[in-house]
Structure 1
Amino acid sequence: MQDLKPTATSPLEVKQITAPYGSWKSPITTDVVSAASKLLAGTAVDSLGRLICLESRPNESGRMVVVREPERAGEGPVDITPKEYAVRTVAQGSESGGAFRVSADTDTLVFSNYSDQRLYKQSLTSSTIDDSSPTPLTPDYGGPIVSYADGVFDARFNRYITLREDARQITSDPITTIVAVELDSMDIREPEVLVGGSDFYAFPRLDRKGERLAWIEWSHPNMPWDKAQLLVGYISEIG
């Protein structure tokens, strides 16, 4: 170890430290690195064409919130998600994927809340978060045992079609189905099962008229890249 004395070009004392490989104490910790980075996931637009996406908050334990681009240049993103909520789903190991969807036609946001995994509806037309409190759409099962992901708005029947992973039966594997959630019911009702029977589902999508529903499905022991099916079902006049 060598001490370097102050000089005209080096007014501060600098110490050289020799340490065994792997034991060097760096001032750059994992907390410093993670706090400096933000994760962006998922994109949508509202009726005015403003960009909406998910943003992580490393200084809030990685909480994910929906944000909207500012109305004026130079300003930061506008939070849409209230502080007591976090937008994230755990359905089929989705992490944060498919945790929210925006209807640009009605400026409505539907999202999965991380703590209870329930679906909530929120208006995007309010000027502040306080004016737009999220409204629950799915039942409270006493914990995050039923989760939802990757939904789509069904304007024809004013509902939200989405994947559901149901772990209420603790003696078996979670049951995954495609369900319909009512958007404007006075009471919170059990979602209606539209498609079931396979172990996994992905990407439920409606055609422009809302008359046909397409989805991908597969079952154990296969993975989706081994053996999956793309199916289309017709939606009747009564849904």
Structure 2
Amino acid sequence: MGLTQAEEVFGGITETGINDILDEFFHARPRHLRYGSPGFVPTTTVAATSMPAIAFPGVPGGIDWSVRLTVPRVDLFPQTTGLPPELSLGGGQLSVSTAVTLCVSCDQKRGRQPDNPDGRQPGKDDQPPRGRVKGTCFTLKVFGVGHIERTFGPDSVRVIVDSLEIVDIEPNGLESVIECLLLQILRAVLADVRLPLTTLRAGAFSLTITRGPEIGNDELSAFGNL
């Protein structure tokens, strides 16, 4: 009973297992990592999500933009992945890291190819549709610290990012604005990911959770009865 304490069964998944789930989720649904206005992403496909341009007076069609993220990586307490000095990982917490590429277009000559109005590559529905503008882009390494939250219907766990840090941007006001923007984007991207607690099983038997899930020893753990 030392491991399970008052409960009958212990179930857990390592941070490696969680990262494997993230890989599978985002590789099957890359549109959750790539977003853009019609100049960059003419139409939504499995590979990318098309969203409106930024409306601004005097800019015909709006300002075209795009955002691309790499697959987020999770590190469960205790910390094993390096973090910026502004962040630290406490008990029961996790860190998230990713790279984000932001692009805007200064080209107002946006249009569609007459023979390919959706911008799709023939025979390649899994490839991002090709836009008609060129972007000015930069890439940032992003680090966040957060926690897990249990949700129901179905019973699952999701990642909540509480704070975020990027490195080496000046002035500080610009860094704060970009961090605010990227924190909202990362929260939204991870909100679509759920870890079903039905994956925590004891052989052929499902675990009825009475305590947890909890983070510790590089593992997401739950305790309960069969």
TM-score, normalised with respect to structure 2: 0.24
Larger radius of gyration between Structure 1 and Structure 2: 1
> Bigger relative contact order, structure 1 or 2, given CA contacts below 8 A and separation 6+?
2
TM-score, normalised with respect to structure 1: 0.23
